[in-house]
Amino acid sequence: MRIAIVGATGLVGRTFLKVLEERDFEITELYLFASKRSAGNKVIFKNKEYTMEELTESSFDRNIDIALFSAGGDISKKFAPIAAEKGVLVVDNSSAWRMESGVPLVVPEVNPETAFKNSGIIANPNCSTIQCMLPLKVLEEKYGLKRVIYSTYQAVSGSGHKGIEDLENGLRGEEPKTYPHPIVNNCLPHIDKFLENGYTKEEIKMIDETRKILGIPDLPVTATCVRVPVMNSYSVSITAELERDFDLEELKEALGNFAGMVLVDDVNSNEYPLASDATGQDKVLVGRVRRDFSTEKGINLWVVADNIRKGAATNAVQIAELFRGI
């Protein structure tokens, strides 16, 4: 396939290339687009050198099958429709198109069929949402979902290079430049902007995206999203209230057998999902599976995944893989 990457110099953009190479995605032509200041830089992909180009309105005036976008919402709003109008299938990693009517919001293990109902643009969900969809899909299919509560523990890499720098600089005693408070020795219950209702945009993203991906528009969902002093990989505590009762061992088995997910749940040996174990891989790790005794038919889960890979780059590449040979 003929592939373009928009935002090729960013953290996710560079991971696109890494994941495409690891998964041996067959590419006949590759185009790398970035800002004007990055144009001319060289990149090696599969032992071949490529030159970064400045993204312009004429960038898609060539035969391109799929464009993977990770350059921010403003860039996506402007350039994704231009690409789509020229016959390019856009897989966009920003939040710009996720809740647009007619734009599929896709996690390939969960709702791959929706990807084919596109009008040229497919949205990649929020990284914190993606990893939660796999276990929730299992629960919804087997037992039905009545309510979902999220508490997230999100690594600084979710803020890109600037978040990583804030943590590294903070460890040297320097003041933060990206976060409103030092991230070192702190947990910040503040990701993205606060809204008038007291929630942050990140929390509302998780709520709205969960409903859209699972196809349950009236599902009661709430979230508290927290930035933590961890370099990479997100951890999420999920409490779900189910429609039907369950056998705990049967539920665990179903989680462990679901595509893309690994059950890590042997508390007697202190085995449970860790951010350090998830980093660098594409699997979603799930553990600490236990009944929630505060409510009838309640379950608690601990879910961990690499937010740059499965939470962004890999999920987008998996969407592209759905269209190979079509």
* pLDDT value at residue 37: 87
Q: Which tokens go with 273?
A: 């999902």
Strand partners, 153: 226, 235
Evaluate whether residue 167 is within a structural domain.
Answer: no
Average pLDDT over residues 211-238: 98
Evaluate whether residue 164 is within a structural domain.
Answer: no
CA dist., res. 230 & res. 65, Å (int) = 37
* pLDDT value at residue 324: 87
Instruction: Verify whether residue 127 is a known catalytic residue.
Output: yes
Q: Which tokens go with 283?
A: 């699997």
Whether residue 118 is found in the same domain as residue 196: no
Whether residue 64 is found in the same domain as residue 118: yes
Q: What is the DSSP string of 12-46?
A: HHHHHHHHHHHTT---SEEEEEE-GGGTT-EEEET
Lookup result for tokens 């897989």: 91
Pick the catalytic residue from 127, 132, 187, 225. Answer: 127
CA dist., res. 227 & res. 130, Å (int) = 17
Whether residue 283 is found in the same domain as residue 142: yes
Average pLDDT over residues 260-280: 98
Binding residues for phosphate, by number, are 98
What's this model's pTM, rounded to 2 decimal places?
A: 0.95
Whether residue 211 is found in the same domain as residue 293: yes
Whether residue 202 is found in the same domain as residue 289: yes
Which residues neighbour 16 within 8 Å (Cβ) at sequence distance 6 or greater?
Answer: 5, 8, 68, 70, 313, 316, 317
Whether residue 70 is found in the same domain as residue 108: yes
Q: Which tokens go with 144?
A: 């039905």
Q: Which tokens go with 11?
A: 């953290």
Binding residues, by number, are 9-12, 37-38, 98, 154, 157-158, 227, 307
Evaluate whether residue 229 is within a structural domain.
Answer: yes
Residue 313, number of CB atoms within 10 A of its CB: 29
Residue 80, φ and ψ in degrees, nearest 5: -60, -45
Whether residue 150 is found in the same domain as residue 251: yes
CA dist., res. 258 & res. 261, Å (int) = 6
CA dist., res. 289 & res. 267, Å (int) = 10
Give exposure, 222-233, as e/b (b: 16+ Cβ within 10 Å): ebbbbbbbbebb
By percentage, how much of the chain surpasses pLDDT 90?
A: 97
SS3 content of the chain, % helix, strand, coil (to 5): 35, 25, 40
Whether residue 8 is found in the same domain as residue 142: no
- The structural domain count of the chain equals 2
Evaluate whether residue 218 is within a structural domain.
Answer: yes
* pLDDT value at residue 326: 66
Whether residue 114 is found in the same domain as residue 138: no
Whether residue 83 is found in the same domain as residue 229: no
Binding residues for substrate, by number, are 154, 227
Whether residue 146 is found in the same domain as residue 226: yes
Evaluate whether residue 295 is within a structural domain.
Answer: yes
Evaluate whether residue 176 is within a structural domain.
Answer: no
Whether residue 119 is found in the same domain as residue 132: no
Evaluate whether residue 178 is within a structural domain.
Answer: no
Evaluate whether residue 289 is within a structural domain.
Answer: yes
Domain that holds residue 14: 2-124+312-322
Whose CA is closest to 239, among 131, 139, 311, 127? Answer: 139
DSSP letter at 261 equals E
Whose CA is closest to 89, among 314, 321, 320? Answer: 320
pLDDT per residue as tens digits for the range 96-141? 999 999 999 999 999 999 999 999 999 999 999 999 999 999 999 9
